[in-house]
Amino acid sequence: MLIRFNKPYGVLSQFTPEGKWRGLKDFISLPGVYVAGRLDADSEGLLLLTDDGQLQARIADPRFKMEKTYLAQVEGVADAAALQALSQGVMLNDGLTLPAQARAVEPHAHLWERDPPIRERKAKPTSWIELTIREGRNRQVRRMTAAVGLPTLRLIRTHIGPYSVMDVPLGNWRETELT
């Protein structure tokens, strides 16, 4: 079984709540399913869960290089130089990232509102970047955008490999066919 869950902001990638963060048990009551990969509590979007240990390893293990696509709302304007730097790989404190696919986008028309909303500053514009990576370093997308001068304000994972979250309402899950 493979579950696609649209994780809201403020929810951990574990069933047990911790501190101010809610756990998956508030949304998913299926016995025997486990998270395949992580998504930080302050990020939103696609989280995959499965009852199949081998599938969980294939999804989560970086050796299989399953692409992950994110929408990042960043502070500042995503210009050609920043997108080029992201595309070539960015030097972080733990080394150079692999090249990524990066492009400026408009937010999707059916994108849900975040609760709580992001902070907006009148003097600083925001823009959106779609970023596809093949690694899974800790807080990698946030660190990459910050390294090119565009701090991430909101981060939404839209795809893991062939699996998408865009047809799953926020806070809901759907069982999906393996591809």
Q: CB neighbours of 57 closer than 8 A, spacing ≥ 6?
A: none
Catalytic residue among 26, 40, 61, 94: 40
Instruction: In whole angstroms, give the CA distance from residue 59 to residue 77.
Output: 33
Distance CA 74, CA 152 (A): 4
40 is known as an active-site residue? yes
Instruction: Give the span between the Cα atoms of 128 and 154, in whole angstroms.
Output: 9
- The span from the CA of 144 to the CA of 17, in Å, is 28
The residues that are catalytic are 40
